[in-house]
Structure 1
Amino acid sequence: MQLYHHPYSMDSQKVRLVLEEKGVDYTSYHVNPLTGKNMNASFFRMNPSAKLPVFQNGSHIIFRAIDIVQYIDRLTASLSGEAASVSTETAEWIQKIENWNPRIFTLAHTPPKYRTFISKFIRRVIIARMSESPDLASMYHIKLREAYETEDKLKNLDGVKQSEDELRVILDEAESQLENTGYLAGDNYTLADSMFIPLLVRVSLLNLEEEYINTRPKVLEYYNMVKKRPSYKVVIGKYFNGWRKYRTLYKTACFLLVRNTLRRY
């Protein structure tokens, strides 16, 4: 089994948390979307959406995080001789979290100068790949159009506010749930927690904990608890705890600056 992913990707974190919690052995391949590696022709041919993660088991390839998570759950249950079982509460939480798109929220809370720099770099990467692989030009053109559409959406303040409001609703519901249970869908860790934790990590990465997490005592208590799990330390803590966050960001920033200066896209 192979997983193409990156530590920055929320969906990648969801899948990796499930893999680690279930003890599944897999081969890891890093594909950094901030440097446009997901636009390389070899990856793009496999997954024209260019989104992460991509999970491959033999000839079977899955793209969407929710589909990968459910596949892994069924697979591990089958290998253990058990029937795959996801409670109604778990399924509802998974769908609720999956329905929230973090892209606009993330970009809206990223300093404009960094957001603009990365956006221009990615557009130049797409144009360069389009020139290198003419047979994929039509699909690359779709990604280029999506990049411009995203910039337009960021100018729509109502859309940004809607994304923020949707996040608050999820966190408020989580706060209410965690007043009665230890984890998101009950007293045991489930797939719902693996889907929810990366949402909290994204808020932390954007330095918005005070507004979105610390104001909700049960969510804060839960977040501090799950940080102690081995899966969290492997998937997230290794890259984002303390000074590691700055190292992770610094490496990517240096790479982008060098490539942009040399005009190597």
Structure 2
Amino acid sequence: MSDLTLYYFPGSYYSQRALLALYEKDAKFKHQVVFIHDGDQITPSYMRMNPAGQVPVLADGKKIITESDAIIKYVDENVHTGSTLVPDEISSVGKEVARLRKLISSVRVEIMTYGVLRFQDLSITGLHPIAKPMADIMKKDQGKRFAELRKTLAVLAEKYPDLRDAYNAKIEFATNFPKEFQNRELVVKVLNDVEKTLDEIENILKRVKDEQGISDCWLVGPRFTAADIALATLLDRISFLGLTARYFTPEKRPHLYQYYQRLGTRKSVQQVRSLVLATPRMFILRKLKKASPFVAGIIAAGIGVAVAYSILKRK
């Protein structure tokens, strides 16, 4: 394989799926952070790579793979380390993995995410600190950000005729999507539908544990598969939105609760979570670098020294 490069944003739900797959396969790849809140994903160079203007994107030399499910499949087939993430659907295990991925992907995560950020009272224990700044911006501008995005896209559509259709599709999305996540009734319905999905997941975990006699099983048994990648990102998003108390506790869905605790001990999950927690620092360094590359370098070095000092101090 050529050098792999993943274009992603750490807070992106689907980027997290791609990252988990790469880490699970112990793949060597380059990180290219796409700052979606600054519009990196709608630049002409990025849109030519992925006309949908979305993350993630995997580049393998000149080959481009878009969509997280396609990336997971590509990585699984072409990186010959780690265990198989997508078993052949000819097998019963493969069929079950495919069914579970479809079930979990039926959750309308975008509406759940933006909806809870918009209606913060729907969060049970409060948003994750990283989510607060974005939620506050959404609460203040009341769709202003999407209106500005539409104007920018319209200008780009005129300036780059070869990308006009792609930009117009983005304009349509930026017009319709806010109507959905600003509809409180729809957001509540989506949150209620998650209950049904997780009820089925709870029953599956119980059945696998009882039938296979495995106390620390994953969704289809002892193997961690693409179905677990899908569930891991969903559960982390639920936690991010302060909804764990609603969906899984030792009393409510105990098998799912135990599953989530085990996820926290898995190296790939820890790696992705570390990237998410580092997002605010990435934004700060990006802003500083734009203002003054020299100052950004000094501050980046300072952050590194501070981290090293804190580690030594703990030791």
Could you say which TM-score interval applies, normalised by the shorter chain? 0.7 to 0.9
- 2:263 paired residue number: 226
Match of 2:25 in 1: 22
Give the 3 Å change call, closer, same or farther, for CA 145–238 of structure 1 in structure 2.
Answer: closer
1:73 paired residue number:
76
Aligned to 2:137, which of 84, 105, 114?
A: 114
1:176 pairs with 2:203:
yes
Q: What secondary structure is seen at the aligned counterpart in 2 of 1:3?
A: strand
Provide the C-alpha distance between the structure 2 equivalents of 1:253 and 1:104, rounded to a whole number of angstroms. Answer: 28
Instruction: Sort the Cα spacing of 1:36 and 1:213 in 2 relative to 1 into closer, same or farther, 3 A.
Output: farther
Contact 2:10 2:275 in 1 (8 A): no
Q: Is 1:212 matched with 2:247?
A: yes
Q: Give 3-state SS (helix, strand or coil) of 2:103's partner.
A: helix
1:33 aligns with 2:60: no
The TM-score, its normalising length taken from structure 1, stands at: 0.81
RMSD over aligned CA atoms reads: 3.0
Q: Which has the higher contact order (CA 8 A, sep 6+)?
A: 1
Preserved CA contact (<8 Å) 1:74 1:84 = no
Q: Counterpart in 2 of 1:262?
A: none
Tell me by how many angstroms 1:254 deviates: 10
Q: 1:90 to 1:42 in 2, by over 3 A?
A: same
1:235-246 mapped onto 2 (5 Å cutoff): 235-240=272-277
Letter in 2 for 1:186: G
Query: Which residue of 2 is the match for residue 143 of structure 1?
Result: 170
SS at match of 2:58: strand
* Residue 94 of structure 1: aligned partner: 101
2:230 corresponds to: 195
Which blocks of at least 5 consecutive residues in structure 1 are unaligned?
Answer: 260-265
Residue pair 2:20, 2:268 contacting (<8 A) in 1 also: yes
Would the aligned equivalents of 1:4 and 1:54 in 2 still touch at CA under 8 Å?
yes
The Cα shift of 1:251 comes to: 6.1
1:147 Cα shift?
A: 0.7
Deviation at 1:209, TM superposition (A): 1.6
Does the Cα contact within 8 Å between 2:24 and 2:268 map onto a contact in 1?
Answer: yes
CA contact (8 A) 2:25 2:80 kept: no
1:64 pairs with one of 62, 67, 71:
67
| 1: CA distance, partners of 2:67 / 2:198 | 23
The structural deviation recorded for 1:118 is: 4.3
Q: Distance in 2 between matches of 1:61 and 1:133?
A: 21
SS class of match (1:62) = strand
Unaligned runs of at least 5 residues, structure 2: 120-135, 210-216, 291-315
User: Within 5 A, what are the aligned runs for 1:5-16?
Assistant: 5-16=8-19
Assess if the C-alpha contact under 8 Å between 1:66 and 1:98 holds in 2: no
Q: Residues 251 and 60 of structure 1: is their aligned pair in 2 closer, same or farther, counting only changes over 3 Å?
A: closer
- Alignment partners' CA distance in 2, 1:162 and 1:108: 11
Count of residues in correspondence between the two structures: 249
Residues 25, 82 of structure 2: 8 Å contact kept? no
How many percent of aligned residue pairs carry the same amino acid? 26
Distance in 2 (CA, whole Å) between partners of 1:254 and 1:124 is: 28
1:44/1:176 Cα in 2 relative to 1: closer, same or farther (>3 Å)? Answer: same
User: Are the equivalent residues in 1 in contact too, given 2:51–2:163 (CA < 8 A)?
Assistant: no
Moved more, 49-58 or 177-186: 177-186
> Structure 1 126/255 Cα, relative in aligned 2: closer, same or farther at 3 Å?
farther
Give how far 1:187 is off.
2.4
1:79–1:176 CA distance, 2 compared to 1 (3 A):
closer
- Of 50, 54, 60 in structure 2, the residue corresponding to residue 47 of structure 1 is 50
State TM-score, norm by structure 2: 0.70
More divergent stretch after superposition (97-106 vs 6-15): 97-106
